[in-house]
Homo-oligomer: A and B are copies of this chain.
Amino acid sequence: MHKITVNLGMRSYKIIVGRNITGQLGKVLKRLNIGSDAFIITNNFLKNKYGAKLAQSLSAAGINFIFKTVLDSEKSKSIETASIVIKDVAKFDRKKKVFIIAFGGGVIGDLAGFVASVYKRGTNYIQVPTTLLAQVDSAIGGKTALDLASGKNLVGAFYQPRLVFSDVEFLKTLDNKQLGSGMAEVIKYAVIKDAKLFTYLETRHKALSSGSAHALMEIIGSCSRIKALITSKDEKESLGLRTILNFGHTIGHAIEAAGGYKRYNHGQAVGLGMIAAVNLSAVLGLIDRKVSERVKDLIELYGLPVKLKNVPLDKIIKAHYYDKKFSGKENKLVLISAIGQAKIVRNVRLDLIKQAVNSIV
């Protein structure tokens, strides 16, 4: 079992990574003393598959609970769904010791975190992430979000959970696409911050792709440590340190948006965005071509696409300029100067960005 702390003074919290640990969640929550009545936000699939186990763990610790299921879809990250859920929390909350459990992937984590952040100006919540993507990334760091028609994640708050509880057991039921989506983020952490993890990913591909619990715990532990460290230092993205987590995401988001969120999922788009970013790093002379090839090879090894198909370049560039990370006309890209070494570069010439995107076509 790995235990990692996100250091935020009074608001510090633990990330627990383990195998088949859900039975212990009730006890852990009892000790945390964050409430006696759990409002569990999840989807039907997860409730049917793991609900009984979760329920048993909470009951054994004397924690009262209710399940609230939402659609297993990005559509659940809407103000409308949040509104319904908030009203249900208020109905459940007659005893005044309610706390919220986000039991699911990134969508449920973002939705539940948002609900917790605004209900009574802040209610305790914990993250029990059930996908690789959520375990290594979205469940940690307190970014909550809802989408608007005009853009993803445009509504939200910085609001930290009281615990992140990652059981790799949940990853067993994920399909390859979902695992690939998570692996893109794992590769991201390695490329920007952890050369050792990069080598681990290169050499332990077999174990990871066959679902070795030990190997999964290793990489989830490594990623959690990195995210915890960065979040501790720059909680609200105000110092720029957290910016490096956007590696591959700026162009990745643009690829997702330009493809109407249908052609490529988040992980695939981030994979392509990372290739564009390392190619741009090479064009700017920050790294050798060999390094960018090594990154591309690793992305390919984990079954992620390395060529962009059927999404027009000008659409990507346009979407790129509407990304919320841009203010006015300045751009700011996360590139690398070595494996494990991120570098923020400002005002990159548009023709070079185009050239980098073109390099993945």
Give A contacts to B, CB under 8 Å. Answer: 79-80, 82-83, 86-87, 90-91, 95-97, 114, 117-122, 143, 145-146, 148-151, 154-158, 236, 324, 326-328
Q: Which residue of B lies closest to A159 (CB)?
A: B157
Are A157 and B86 in contact (CB-based, < 8 A)? Answer: no
Are A156 and B118 in contact (CB-based, < 8 A)? Answer: yes
CA distance A156 to B117 in the complex (A): 8
Are A83 and B79 in contact (CB-based, < 8 A)? Answer: yes
**Among candidates B96, B120, B157, B326, residue contacting A121 with C-beta atoms closer than 8 Å:** B157
For A97, the chain B residues whose CB sits under 8 A away are 327-328
Number of copies: 2
CA distance A44 to B7 in the complex (A): 48
Are A155 and B96 in contact (CB-based, < 8 A)? Answer: no
Are A86 and B148 in contact (CB-based, < 8 A)? Answer: yes
Known: A118-B118, A154-B90, A157-B117. A96 touches B326 (CB 8 A): yes
Known: A120-B324, A157-B122. A151 touches B90 (CB 8 A): yes
Are A86 and B90 in contact (CB-based, < 8 A)? Answer: no
For A90, the chain B residues whose CB sits under 8 A away are 148-151, 154
Known: A143-B121, A157-B118. A96 touches B327 (CB 8 A): yes
Q: Which residue of B lies closest to A321 (CB)?
A: B96
CA distance A199 to B324 in the complex (A): 53
Known: A87-B148, A151-B90. A121 touches B79 (CB 8 A): no
